Homo-oligomer: A and B are copies of this chain.
């Protein structure tokens, strides 16, 4: 590695002072055409590029933003990060990304590290916004920041889905299909204020719609033995007809496990997810879920941070109750006992995009 070509080398090669080089290259301050040429020639010859770190030291600004999320394995966060990163980049900022793996310990530590790196701002999804030490460090230093996916505590901004309201909607959907007893399944329940809010809203909604208080299944390890856990859960709650799963990915895994257990989704067990990832529309039956727009949220949080940095008014975010929508899908249907069409047990009945057996193209291809 070699990169010892500094502004001084350019100045020497061009036969002028460093101040002149800086002025010419940055277009700040006057300079003669002749000097400009000499400087540019020297730059080309030496392949000079400014070092941002000298510049940062002087301007005490790094044009770098810290971005902290639990994981990229969940496409919700991947999309959000991408949205934030694009927005920042368009404004000339780079993004320093860290995943905490839902670990509170490392959450506070990485935030400290980013702080030491003198980032100009933060976009963060913390495990619990109300108690995060990492968030506190950011607050006391008064670094521009915005939460993402977290419920905003007092005096904080956050771009997020209204988890409680969304969960209410799910409860209503279960009610509309005639379910009387349902469950709630979440990963990392303890370390996520989002999962807690969803559960809370769901409990509330069930009460409101006359559904029995939902049974809670909380799993820690990464769905290694989801099938076993699900089986035990269903044996403990034999009259359950539906489960609200706190994210789509886990919901799909749950459907798979249900199948392994010989259950028909949705006839024996309805599943509703959360997030609205695209593959949910590609599977059979399609996944009923809460649709969100993570990329927009990430981008919005980024805009908010930029506005704080620039002293502008922060952008308006969508109304909380418009931050999500319910998407019907084949994985949610009336429980088998409730069915009126006698279809009980009809496994894999197509529930979206039903094949048109006689479609034009098939005829054409039949030879």
A residues sitting closer than 8 Å to B (CB atoms) are 1-3, 47, 49-54, 56-57, 62, 64, 67, 71-73, 75, 78-79, 81-82, 85-86, 89, 94-99, 101, 110, 112-118, 140-144, 231, 234-235, 238, 249, 252-253, 255-256, 259-264, 268, 279, 281-284, 345, 347-348, 350, 353, 355-359, 361-362, 364-365, 367
Residue in B116, B282, B362 whose CB lies within 8 Å of A283: B282
B72 near A82 with CB under 8 A, answer: yes
Asked whether A114 and B97 contact (CB < 8 A) given A78-B75, A235-B364, the answer is no
A231 near B72 with CB under 8 A, answer: no
By Cβ-Cβ distance, the 3 closest A-B pairs, closest first, are A262-B359, A97-B97, A72-B78
Distance, CA A347 to CA B353, complexed state (A):
13
A1 near B82 with CB under 8 A, answer: no
Residue in B56, B114, B282 whose CB lies within 8 Å of A253: B282
B73 near A85 with CB under 8 A, answer: no
Number of copies: 2
Tell me how far the C-beta of A145 lies from the nearest C-beta in chain B, rounded to whole angstroms.
10
* CB-CB nearest in chain B for A117: B52
Tell me how far the C-beta of A289 lies from the nearest C-beta in chain B, rounded to whole angstroms.
14
B260 near A353 with CB under 8 A, answer: yes
> Within 8 Å CB of A79, what residues of B?
72-73
Residue in B2, B62, B78, B238 whose CB lies within 8 Å of A142: B2
Distance, CA A337 to CA B356, complexed state (A):
20
A64 near B96 with CB under 8 A, answer: yes
> Within 8 Å CB of A110, what residues of B?
89
Distance, CA A352 to CA B67, complexed state (A):
40
B355 near A284 with CB under 8 A, answer: no
Residue in B53, B143, B283, B347 whose CB lies within 8 Å of A355: B347
